[in-house]
Amino acid sequence: MLAASALALTTSLLAVPAAAAPEASQPEERKAAVDAALSTLQQDLVGTSEELQGAYAEYAAVQQQLPGARSAADAARSERSRARAEADELAQRLASSTAAQEAAAEAVAGTEEAMAEHRTSVGRIAASSYRGNGMPEMLALAMGSASTDDLASRSAALAGLSTTQSAVLADLSSEQAVRTSARARLEAVTEQVADLEAEAERQLVRAQAAEAAAEARQREVEDLVARQDRAVAVIEARQAEEEERLDALQAESDALGAQLRAIAEEERRVAAEQEAAREAERQAAREAEERAAREAEERAAQEQAAQQASQGSSGSSTGSRAAAAPAAAPAPPSAVSRGSSSDRGGRLLRPEGRLSSPFGMRMHPIRGYLRMHNGQDFAAGCGTPVRAAEDGTVVSAGYNGSYGNIVVVSHGLMDGRSVATAYAHLQGFAVRSGSVSRGQVIGYEGTTGGSTGCHLHFEVRVDGAPTDPMAWL
């Protein structure tokens, strides 16, 4: 299993900063966050196999998308619960209104039955009165009432009816009033039920949409988790292979460093011998100059002594003649002035292409520790000419494991330090040995070795140790 600490470190590496919302409000913002994480990951996985790089890219993308997907799923579930609650409330209101509608309908039916009975009673009274003395005028007026209000307006006519007749007509009037109220109630409740049924239908559509959205958001989360699991499975399966690759890359870098340190030591030894030889020449010149000066002085002294002896022995000399001036000594040879033709201020020729993966420490996602990227990567496309950064001598040119096709050039001592440059992942070579000059084509950009895309891996080594190339360009 992949170590939990490594996964935790990876998650921390890929996390969106706290100042940014984990779930962007717009798809473009979410994509920008994912792209930023993948850009960082590309730098941390430089040289990693394409399959493993793809697995980590997938893992990074999922880690960026999961918070937003889970938040959307939670929001969809909340909306679904709210829609369900509203649907339940509407159902209760509809049931209550339906029950009230049924009760109102029963009340109307009851009053209709009661009124029918009272009308029958009034009919019997009228028939009895007609067989006797004919229908009383007052009863005819009462029975001819068109409505309850009409019946009430004819109350004067009711005064002439018998007590029994008046009671029957009063009951009929009361039942008519009840029926009118019941019918109004039934109409109102029926309208309310219709409105609630329409609202319930609309709420059902909303609830179904919320249900579908919640299920879709949950499927998105499940799909992301499945993608994450597949990516982790690839990472776990390739962990040992990646560790071997990293160990090999470190060994290759160490071997290159050792080779260049040996060259640096030899360059310093040769430089010291050359300086010693130049110092010996300077010392010999000084000694020769001193001997010439002494010899000149000795000759001058001898000539003066001989002249004095000659004057004393002849006696005819005037004695006033001045002694001949000694001959001038030859000028000593001047010391040879020597300068360093390799001192160009520490500036190297910048490779072509855009900057991609920089020099420096980075967290490796699998092992979970900091590791060094020893060079600066430049991306200009396969086949782009690669030029020597400075005059120098080809140390090696060939295939070297994760470096792929690589050319190493020693530039000698610069300010007392041995400087060399390395050009890795080349597609092909333009030189394999001998001397090169600044700007000379030495190879062509490619994607050999531990590379997943066309680029130049450019290293600057000082006394064998890798240093930031950008400080030299």
The torsion angles phi and psi of 462, rounded to 5 degrees, stand at: -115, 115
- Phi and psi at 429, nearest 5°, equal -110, 145
Q: What pLDDT is attached to residue 200? A: 79
Residue 313 pLDDT > 80, yes or no?
A: no
Confidence of residue 307 (pLDDT cuts 50, 70, 90): confident
Instruction: Let me know: does 227 contact 93? Beta carbons within 8 Å.
Output: no
Evaluate if residue 245 carries a pLDDT over 90.
no
Cα separation, 208 vs 81, in Å, equals 11
**Is 409 or 34 the better-scoring residue by pLDDT?**
409
In 3D space, the residue among 40, 68, 64 whose CA is nearest the CA of residue 53 turns out to be 40
The average pLDDT across 376-394 equals 95
Q: Is the pLDDT of residue 55 over 60?
A: yes
pLDDT at residue number 13? 38
CA distance 205 to 274: 94
Structure tokens at 153: 């307006």
pLDDT at 166: 65
- Nearest-10 Cα torsion for 51, 57, 63, 68: -130
- Give the model's confidence band at 18: pLDDT under 50 very low, under 70 low, under 90 confident, else very high: very low
Which has the higher per-residue pLDDT, 244 or 422? 422
Q: Over the stretch 91-108, which tens digit does the pLDDT of each residue have?
A: 888 888 888 888 878 877
Residue type, 365: P
Averaged over 288-311, what is the pLDDT?
A: 85
In the predicted structure, residue 198 carries a pLDDT above the cut 90: no
- Check: CB of residue 355 under 8 Å from CB of residue 378: yes
pLDDT of residue 427: 96
- 55-64, 84-93, 131-140 — which one is most confidently predicted on average? 84-93
Domain boundaries 249-292+348-473, corresponding CATH code: 2.70.70.10
CB atoms within 10 A of CB 199: 15
Higher pLDDT, 384 or 141: 384
Q: What is the pLDDT of residue 116?
A: 78
Q: Please answer whether residues 98 and 91 qualify as being in contact, where contact means their C-beta atoms are separated by less than 8 angstroms.
A: no
Domain boundaries, the chain: 1-237, 249-292+348-473
